[in-house]
Structure 1
Amino acid sequence: MPTPRKVIMLCLLLTAAASAQAGQGLSLPEALAAAFANNPELAAAGREIGIAEGERRQAGLLPNPELSWEVEDTRRDTSTTTVTLSQPLELGGKRGARIAVAGSGQAIAQLELERQRNALRADVVQAFHAALRAQTALALAQQSQALTERGVRVVQGRVSAGQSSPVESTRAQVQLAQAQAEVRRAETQQAVAYQALARLTGSPVAMFDRLPAAELSPGTAPKAETLLEKVEQTADWRLAAAQIERGEASLGSAKAQRIPDLTVSIGSQYSREDREQVNVVGLSMPLPLFDRNQGNVLAAARRADQARDLRNAVELRVRSETRSAVSQWHTAMQEVDAYDRTILPSAQQAVDTATRGFEMGKFAFLDVLDAQRTLIEARGLYLEALAMATDARAQVERIYGDLEGLSKTPNSRSNHE
């Protein structure tokens, strides 16, 4: 047996689908696929992986040798020419420390891309539901206009028959003008919502003119405790943890820089005056008397501490936002359920009763107008409650990613049976 909520939702969505012109439609899975494939901001975030790979490759390279040529005494017969090949040898694990820093950069790039994907998915879901609500609002505005036109015809008939005052005809015309203005406003809002959704999918214009009938409701909110158990699995938390690892790696690299490098030189020297060639071998190393990289070590240590503080701040933010979003989601769905079960059916019944009574001469036209205004206001508040619930779900998915698995709780399934 269909529930009142199911009946109302089906009527709204079928009306929205019927009012849309035949053309290219766009489903939510298609919108998500297009966004992941074409969104330029996500593509830019994906480039960071290649950038990090280049930095990792560069970090593993050995220092280049140096070839030098030197002449002493520029006179031709007494000059001495020296050719030397020098190779710096990195000591103290500098190369390994650089590789560790670059490797942590690769992990951060991967996590940043995951976070961007979660954010984009939430934005698309939010924009899709906003466009779907705008489409439904347009259908409802057209319904209200049709209902008002019907009232105008009835009033005009009663005025012509001398059963009603001409003032009621004026009121009916004013109500019709307001309904027509509401339709134009709804058309503009739908166009704006369609354009916002198209932008997220990487298209400069909306290549679709309708959204297929889909569930307006975001579903039942999961328990906050269930989500909070997965905080350390979120991209935000893992990204903050990766920043700590990079801070530790940077500290290790700064400490390695305290040990000076050794440069080994080998070459040959030829004297024109003595007509003699000798081999040259040398070792050189800076003396760490003043600069032992102590400032950079201190700065790297403080950055590592800062990364830990930021990780704690991220965890606090995620937990707080999770509780707030779940609470908003739950409260909004209670309002949606109240409108589904009681308010909308009662408001619709009031309009039907007032309209029939006016046609039979039992009610004044003001009663019809009051009933229509109540229904229109209730529909608007109903869509606002749906928007609050959808925005809350988008915020949760922005943190935790796709919630399809988590949202299929027993309560959720029972509400959809």
Structure 2
Amino acid sequence: MKPFSRLAVPKKPILHRLFVLPVLALFASPAFAQTLTADEAARLALERPEASQLIDAPIGVAEGNLTSARTWSNPTLSLEREGVEGFAGDGSETFVQLEQTFDVSGRRALNTRGAQADLQAATLSAVSERARIDAEARRRFYAALAADEALTIETRYRDELEGLLAATERRQAGGDASRYDVERVRQEYLAAGVAVAQAGARVFEARQSLFALIGSGDAQEAALVGALLPDHAPLDLPGVSPAIAALEAEAEAADWRKRSAGRYTPDVTVGAGFRQIEGPFDETGLLLSFSVPLPLFDRNQGEYRARAAEASAAEARLRLAEDQVAADLATLQYRLDALHEAATRYDAGALASASELRRIALSAFNGGEIAVFEVIDALGSARDAQRQSLSLKLDARTAALAIAERLPETDR
């Protein structure tokens, strides 16, 4: 057998390259010098006006409701004039009165407390929404980064097979390889070309998804820079989830509304004014009025039952969410620890071994010591090991982001 010195050969006009040409051209473009990190992607996503509107709008609604809860009802000014012979007659009677309704049951104060709790819930929900957008931008960034690396893996495997095919064809011409050997390598090479095209399509899809979230601009041509595997797996889970804190505030607000509905003492309306009589006997007098609806039929039973049911549901949602978030965090922490360790061990063990096997196989093939089928097997094993390493790292990063979404202060 004659050795071959390298796997790379002059490129041929093969159809499958047309599918990945736009992607590869993008990476080779001189304008592609700009880089984009996960932190920058998250910042761009959060700086979009649409994101700010989604985050701030619920707070604005809650602030408006709090202002309404604190505002007194408007006074009522009434004017009545009665004439004996019309308004311009000799005799007339005029009433001017100002009335104001007062809350004597304490409902206004309770509703204000409920609106304050709603504002707190909206503020905490805004923290959760920021964390969600941040984590989603990072998820899409790392998905695009993984797609880039997967394309690199598939491209390298295809190029190695292309070199192996050229070497096998030369050996066939020299009588050291059979036609079967050539066609076997060709089949593997063509399949690898399809895998490259598919990986290129996934790169395009992942980048479109990323930039749909962070917005358009010069960053769309940026090279993604970062490490898929998190720097370290956090051992402790600090803080309290803003989502749980928001549910606590919502439950508190619902409880205040229930208490307000339980106060069925009616509002009192007090009025003051004057009466003026014009005619044969002019007379002016002061008016005082006091009115209160009698709670004979409507004691606010329906409102109280409705608000009590809402408070009960809010409390139930809080308890269920607490248990679910605690379970999710425990599961994610366990998964992150396991994947982080597995990825580290895999790179040091299986990936390193597969890379060494690839090196040995190529060296042995160049020395005429092994057949082409063994080289294909070694190259495929190295590619599969790289795929597995990539999958482990992406899964570990996804788990870390899921933790950070629930606990924003956690490292990403």
- TM-score normalized with structure 1 length: 0.84
1:340 CA drift (Å): 0.3
State the AA in 2 paired with 1:178: A
The structure-2 alpha-carbon separation of the partners of 1:325 and 1:39, relative to structure 1 and needing over 3 Å to count, comes to farther
State the AA in 2 paired with 1:104: A
1:52 CA drift (Å): 1.7
Quote the residue 2:256 is aligned against.
249
The structure-2 alpha-carbon separation of the partners of 1:305 and 1:162, relative to structure 1 and needing over 3 Å to count, comes to same
1:379 CA drift (Å): 1.7
Alignment of 1:264-279 (within 5 A): 264-271=270-277, 276-279=282-285
Gaps of 5+ in 1: 1-15, 408-417
Alignment of 1:1-80 (within 5 A): 21=29, 22-38=32-48, 40-72=50-82, 75-76=85-86, 77=89, 80=93
1:327 CA drift (Å): 1.9
Q: Does 1:221 align with 2:228?
A: no
State the AA in 2 paired with 1:51: V
Alignment of 1:160-179 (within 5 A): 160-179=173-192
Quote the residue 2:7 is aligned against.
none
The structure-2 alpha-carbon separation of the partners of 1:119 and 1:39, relative to structure 1 and needing over 3 Å to count, comes to farther
Q: Does 1:182 align with 2:195?
A: yes
The structure-2 alpha-carbon separation of the partners of 1:199 and 1:277, relative to structure 1 and needing over 3 Å to count, comes to farther
Q: Does 1:335 align with 2:342?
A: yes
Q: Does 1:363 align with 2:370?
A: yes
State the Cα deviation string for residues 78-134 of structure 1 (Å, max 9, x = none): 664433222212212233222212111110111000111121222122222211111
The structure-2 alpha-carbon separation of the partners of 1:275 and 1:376, relative to structure 1 and needing over 3 Å to count, comes to farther
1:124 to 121, 137, 146: 137
State the Cα deviation string for residues 5-40 of structure 1 (Å, max 9, x = none): xxxxxxxxxxx9x96643332112211211221162
Question: How many Å separate the matches in 1 of 2:143 and 2:289?
Answer: 74
The structure-2 alpha-carbon separation of the partners of 1:277 and 1:157, relative to structure 1 and needing over 3 Å to count, comes to farther
Judge conservation of contact 1:195–1:206 (CA < 8 Å) in 2: no
1:198 to 185, 207, 211: 211
Question: How many Å separate the matches in 1 of 2:84 and 2:220?
Answer: 77
Judge conservation of contact 1:118–1:402 (CA < 8 Å) in 2: no
The structure-2 alpha-carbon separation of the partners of 1:271 and 1:350, relative to structure 1 and needing over 3 Å to count, comes to same
The structure-2 alpha-carbon separation of the partners of 1:188 and 1:146, relative to structure 1 and needing over 3 Å to count, comes to same
Judge conservation of contact 1:24–1:207 (CA < 8 Å) in 2: no
SS in 1 for 2:221: coil
Quote the residue 2:332 is aligned against.
325
SS in 2 for 1:207: helix
1:285 CA drift (Å): 0.9
Quote the residue 1:415 is aligned against.
none
1:306 CA drift (Å): 2.7
Quote the residue 2:110 is aligned against.
97
SS in 2 for 1:164: coil
1:299 CA drift (Å): 2.9
Quote the residue 1:10 is aligned against.
none
Q: Does 1:286 align with 2:293?
A: yes
SS in 2 for 1:69: strand
Quote the residue 2:95 is aligned against.
82
- TM-score normalized with structure 2 length: 0.85
Quote the residue 2:21 is aligned against.
none
The structure-2 alpha-carbon separation of the partners of 1:85 and 1:20, relative to structure 1 and needing over 3 Å to count, comes to same
Question: How many Å separate the matches in 1 of 2:107 and 2:247?
Answer: 25
1:300 CA drift (Å): 2.4
State the AA in 2 paired with 1:122: A
Quote the residue 1:150 is aligned against.
163
Gaps of 5+ in 2: 1-23
The aligned length equals 382
The answer to which of 39-48 and 151-160 deviates more is 39-48
1:261 to 258, 267, 289: 267
1:315 CA drift (Å): 1.2
Question: How many Å separate the matches in 2 of 1:235 and 1:65?
Answer: 41
Question: How many Å separate the matches in 1 of 2:84 and 2:116?
Answer: 51
Judge conservation of contact 1:20–1:210 (CA < 8 Å) in 2: no
Judge conservation of contact 1:255–1:297 (CA < 8 Å) in 2: yes
Question: How many Å separate the matches in 1 of 2:274 and 2:57?
Answer: 48
The structure-2 alpha-carbon separation of the partners of 1:152 and 1:326, relative to structure 1 and needing over 3 Å to count, comes to same
Question: How many Å separate the matches in 1 of 2:49 and 2:97?
Answer: 55
Quote the residue 1:6 is aligned against.
none
Quote the residue 1:8 is aligned against.
none
Quote the residue 1:3 is aligned against.
none
Quote the residue 2:14 is aligned against.
none
Alignment of 1:370-389 (within 5 A): 370-389=377-396
Question: How many Å separate the matches in 2 of 1:127 and 1:292?
Answer: 55
